[in-house]
Structure 1
Amino acid sequence: MPHPAVLPLDHLALRGRRDAPALRLRGGTINHEALNLRIGRIASWLLAQGLVAGDRAASWMGKTEIACLMPLAAARAGLVHVPVNPLLKRAQVAHILSDSGARLLIAGKARLGTLEPGDLSDAKAMEEHEAEAALDTGEAMEPSPESRDTDDLAAILYTSGSTGRPKGVMLSHANMWLGALSVAQYLKLSADDVTLAVLPLSFDYGQNQLLSTWAAGGSVAPLDYLTPKDVVKACAKHRVTTLAAVPPLWVQLVEQAWTEEAAAPMRRLTNSGGALTPGLVAKLRGIFPDADLYAMYGLTEAFRSTYLDPALIDGNPTSMGKAIPHAEIMVVAPDGSEAAPDAPGELVHAGPLVAQGYWRDTERTAQRFKPAPAFSRYGGTAVWSGDTVKRGADGLLYFVGRDDAMIKTSGNRVSPQEIEEAADASDAVNESCAMGRKDAALGEAIVLFARGSGDEAALRMHLKATLPNFMQPAEIIWLDQFPKNANGKIDRTALKDQL
């Protein structure tokens, strides 16, 4: 199917007006002309380290200027960027370096100091300040020729997953270019937009904060925040128009005191990594009455799959919406046919946003990347998500659950999300997570972890009024704080260990 012309990824640096702001840093603002120049200098510096086309270059740092430039600088140099989440510890970093075969690791002195002998594998360690020295001097590599094969690998993003070691998702120039254009299109980003980048740049959702904003010619203010108050202050300082987050962060942000200066410029809020609850939607509406609220669903293997038109969210607060531009989203029944309206089926994503598979892992690639269903318009290879969804008669999609997360109790298959949404709607709960615990009589008993007032009687009364008996938690465990994984999501594995 037709899609816009695809160019090498580093050409995103050429889409903004030359004198318009592109990157807002502590030391000052860089315009789009300077952005392109500095990307070219880092590209030249990377090749001067002895790297050749196709080599993997890893970066392990906070949201510094180098971290922001690396996705496009590596692409310009013909390298494959491997961003490593700065929250990861040495064992996970050592796995990523070994698995990717990285030839170079750029990081700060403190992080490099945590590594032990053998952790680097074949990678050469370079301190971040050595790359920074190249920003203001030296030769700048010209933009990639438009004839470059955009199916070439541009990045390997490692997903944390719920079990097992991280696996590397291979993304081409075309994957990332079209992903940036798709998001810029449906979010209606423009050259005067300011995006506050609070999500990790190693996360596909976080990295796209940069790429989609630059695709629209706008500017990005990267932020490594310590508390939710830091986010509020940064929104006021930069007059932020676009804020992306995951549900656990939204829960914290709506508990803050938002000033008019911080809230008024906001044009859009975007959510992925979990569903918004009706209560959370209402709270966001109260703080940002004039902002569009985008509920989205994505998976790293195809970057992003769906979004909900903001005009529909009040009436459909739990919907995933419809396919984003350049994506085909299908609901596939167990027999391989298209599922009927309101019938559950597996979400399958086809089209040019589908990644190239898992790096050096043919077995897991074959499990997830399979031929598209016969009724697909795009055909080719599709991502079979493992997520169960249903499509309403109005065409909107709704998440039902993951096969490996479903709770099987008393002969019923129960979605943890349904319990969590009910709990979160209670005044007693700010955040929750449901899971199954082995039980001789029930198969699995439902355990609900909750953070909130601790008023268990009020919560149970609410749940009994909103959920059937077989969905009632056998146990409620109150927490002062939820464990979070490197991408800011609730760490279900850590909670499971408590059982």
Structure 2
Amino acid sequence: MPPAQYTQTRPIDHLAERGGAEDPALVLRGATLSHGELRTRVAALAAWLAERVPEPGARVASWAAKGELTCLLPLAAPRAGLVHVPINPLLKRAQVAHILADSGTVMLLGTAARLASLEDGDLPADCAILDEADMWAEVTAQGGSLPPSSADPDDLCAILYTSGSTGQPKGVMLSHANLWLGAASVAEYLGMAADDVTLAVLPLSFDYGQNQLFSTWYAGGAVVPLDYLLPRDVMKACAKHSVTTLAAVPPLWLQLTELDWPSEATSAMRRLTNSGGALTEDLVRALRTIFPDARLFPMYGLTEAFRSTYLDPALVDSHPTSMGRAIPHAEILVVNDVGEIAEPGEEGELVHCGPLVAQGYWQDTARTAERFRPAPAASEYGGTAVWSGDRVMRAEDDLLYFVGRRDAMIKSAGNRISPQEVEDAARATGLVAEAAALGVPDERLGQAVHLVVRAPAGAGENTHELAQMLAKELPNFMQPKVIHWREAMPLNPNGKIDRAALLAEIGA
């Protein structure tokens, strides 16, 4: 069981109250906020929000690069009784319009250039927009201060949008307790402390990325947010800020291991964390060589339950392919095909139980019922569990091993990509009649997007124009690496496109 200090749940905005007043909390481009200043700024932003958006539970979205707005809003919005909807700054207007409409966002805060890219009809009728510079000017002019909230830990405080295997991104509903216990759990098993410095390179719209802030502030440490252009920027930041904690996904780790790291960029590093895909043994060895004194934490997680497992760094060399064991505040069960708890060595579905389980998908009862179902009778927590769809196996020593993914999700460079979203965009161009987006193993990306298409009757193949049109509608990480044309699509017995046959055809 976790120690007592990790079991007391509070509203998520109370994270701003944990660090020493004079200790650094947030290292921005032009200034460093101490934890005392973090408290002041969160309180001021929350007061402004409460005045501008007085309706409890209303959704406020952010669409901006990493900075003071995107780092403070996850605490300030819940303090004001609102629900924060962080939007990945890499998304383009079509995806943003969907998120705004689906969530019913009433205020969008962001950078001027991003807001200017929105077109007529992209904003809900009652949604106000405000550039972050103008927002901070209003916050300063108001001069308000809202004290820490007394919200119920089970209250909704954030909606994180994640891609599904079919259709548009879906919003995962997270409570104060979900986020607080996630921060406490990670801070505990990583052994974080007040003198830690976390380089936040992952998008803050992801649960893994957002927890870079939360777990560090839970421990009273400092966060350095970084939107990098080149992997070398990450290395330089590690040296400049004496970074102790670095979280990344396998494709970024691969790029980082190709650099010549100076000692000043590695000497302070205490821990490396990985999620979004498995590390290869070669990559583990490369990281060990560059960061000989850092502990390596491979992890597995689901947005619907934040994180499920981690592998103890002491076991990485002896059990390199293992997912590890459950993190604090999580119960991980393996359920076989007849609905019983699987025996050691038997394959089954990973089922996550406990207080990290999210509240379901926003306004989507059908998909919620598919993924969020009653916990198995053997669960110590009971209640609702996340049935992951991932196939795993538990060994005799209680270590878990990943077997395969049930759904058709593509995981590329740490991003979850909906095949249907890519296919819908391709068909919408009018250049193709049928489309199938596939994830093909790729050394650098984990999986690369390959798009197999058939032109309409009487039309020819036009790869260049199709690629150009997709570039306008889809974010960079969704762009097909290769476009394959077919005169006819293979069909399975149900009359659907046979994806397995296509993968075989293209040599995947």
Which TM-score tier does this pair reach, normalised by the shorter chain?
Answer: 0.7 to 0.9
Q: Which runs of 4+ in 1 moved over 6 A?
A: 485-488
Is 1:365 aligned with 2:368?
yes
Matching residue of 1:248: 251
Matching residue of 1:181: 184
The partner residue of 2:145 within 141, 149, 163 is 141
Partners of 1:201 and 1:134 in 2: CA distance: 24
State the SS of the aligned residue for 2:401.
strand
1:217-296 matched pairs, under 5 angstroms = 217-296=220-299
CA distance change for structure 1 residues 128 and 292 in 2, over 3 Å: closer, same or farther?
A: same
How big is each residue's C-alpha offset from its partner over 1:411-466, in whole Å with a ceiling of 9 and x where there is no partner?
xxxxx99xx9xxxxxxxxxxxxxx9xxxxxxxxxx9965458xxxxxxxxxxxxxx
Matching residue of 2:454: none
Matching residue of 1:340: 343
Amino acid across the alignment from 2:230 = T
Partners of 2:122 and 2:80 in 1: CA distance: 25
Matching residue of 2:447: none
Matching residue of 1:124: 128
Matching residue of 1:350: 353
Amino acid across the alignment from 1:327 = A
Q: Which runs of 5+ in 2 are unaligned?
A: 413-418, 420-437, 445-470, 485-505
Partners of 1:160 and 1:228 in 2: CA distance: 26
| C-alpha displacement of 1:270 | 0.2
Matching residue of 1:115: 118
TM-score by length of 2: 0.81
Partners of 1:51 and 1:128 in 2: CA distance: 19
Q: Which runs of 5+ in 1 are unaligned?
A: 407-415, 421-434, 436-445, 453-482
Matching residue of 1:57: 60
Aligned residues of 2:48 and 2:139 also touching (Cα < 8 A): no
| C-alpha displacement of 1:372 | 0.3
| C-alpha displacement of 1:212 | 0.5
- Pick which of 373-382 and 127-136 moved more: 127-136
The partner residue of 2:101 within 95, 98, 103 is 98
Matching residue of 1:468: none
Partners of 1:7 and 1:486 in 2: CA distance: 38
Is 1:82 aligned with 2:85?
yes
- Pick which of 39-48 and 20-29 moved more: 39-48
| C-alpha displacement of 1:317 | 1.2
Partners of 1:251 and 1:447 in 2: CA distance: 19
Aligned residues: CA RMSD? 2.5
Matching residue of 2:456: none
Matching residue of 1:212: 215
| C-alpha displacement of 1:150 | 1.1
CA distance change for structure 1 residues 269 and 487 in 2, over 3 Å: closer, same or farther?
A: farther
Identity of aligned residues (%): 62
Is 1:202 aligned with 2:235?
no
How big is each residue's C-alpha offset from its partner over 1:145-186, in whole Å with a ceiling of 9 and x where there is no partner?
44x211110000000234420000000001001000000000
Matching residue of 1:400: 403
Matching residue of 1:170: 173
Partners of 1:258 and 1:162 in 2: CA distance: 38
Amino acid across the alignment from 1:225 = Y
Partners of 2:93 and 2:196 in 1: CA distance: 37
Partners of 2:248 and 2:95 in 1: CA distance: 24
CA distance change for structure 1 residues 19 and 263 in 2, over 3 Å: closer, same or farther?
A: same
Partners of 1:137 and 1:229 in 2: CA distance: 39
| C-alpha displacement of 1:123 | 1.3
How big is each residue's C-alpha offset from its partner over 1:315-359, in whole Å with a ceiling of 9 and x where there is no partner?
111111000000000011111111111111000000000000000
CA distance change for structure 1 residues 197 and 274 in 2, over 3 Å: closer, same or farther?
A: same
Aligned residues of 1:199 and 1:487 also touching (Cα < 8 A): no
Amino acid across the alignment from 1:370 = R
Partners of 2:443 and 2:343 in 1: CA distance: 38
What is the total number of aligned residue pairs between the two structures? 430
CA distance change for structure 1 residues 135 and 292 in 2, over 3 Å: closer, same or farther?
A: farther
CA distance change for structure 1 residues 330 and 231 in 2, over 3 Å: closer, same or farther?
A: same
TM-score by length of 1: 0.82
Aligned residues of 1:57 and 1:81 also touching (Cα < 8 A): yes
Aligned residues of 2:331 and 2:354 also touching (Cα < 8 A): yes
Matching residue of 1:48: 51
Aligned residues of 1:66 and 1:131 also touching (Cα < 8 A): no
1:323-338 matched pairs, under 5 angstroms = 323-338=326-341
Aligned residues of 2:42 and 2:76 also touching (Cα < 8 A): yes
How big is each residue's C-alpha offset from its partner over 1:31-63, in whole Å with a ceiling of 9 and x where there is no partner?
001001100111111123234210000000010
